[in-house]
Amino acid sequence: MFKLTAVICFLSMGVNNLDLCIKGEIPMMYSTYEECFKAGEEIIDYMNPDLIARNIALTLTCEKSKYQNATYIRLPI
């Protein structure tokens, strides 16, 4: 199983123009690296114009999950 990890950076924040970066995970699991990579490309293609307009950088990486049988369940809010 593979998961997508994300690093999102808000570029040139505040008076000192510092980058603020946050690391997290996309709450989905993928059976293969190829499936994970494709999902990452689709997310980037969808979000890229908005990210550029807002001066935000996003990096997605597929990582092998240490929980081989993990599943994420989305709960209603």
Domain region containing 9: 2-64
Q: Grade residue 65 by pLDDT with cuts at 50, 70 and 90.
A: confident
String of DSSP letters for the chain: -EEEEEEEEEEEETTTTEEEEEEEEEEEEESSHHHHHHHHHHHHHHHHHHHHHTTEEEEEEEEE-S-TT----PPP-
> d(Cα 20, Cα 64) in Å, to the nearest integer?
26
User: In DSSP terms, which residues pair with 4 in a beta bridge?
Assistant: 62
> Is 8 inside any structural domain?
yes
pLDDT at 9 over 60: yes
> Is 70 inside any structural domain?
no
> Is 45 inside any structural domain?
yes
Distance from chain centroid for Cα 56 = 13
Number of domains into which the chain is organized: 1
User: Whole-model pTM?
Assistant: 0.72
> Is 11 inside any structural domain?
yes
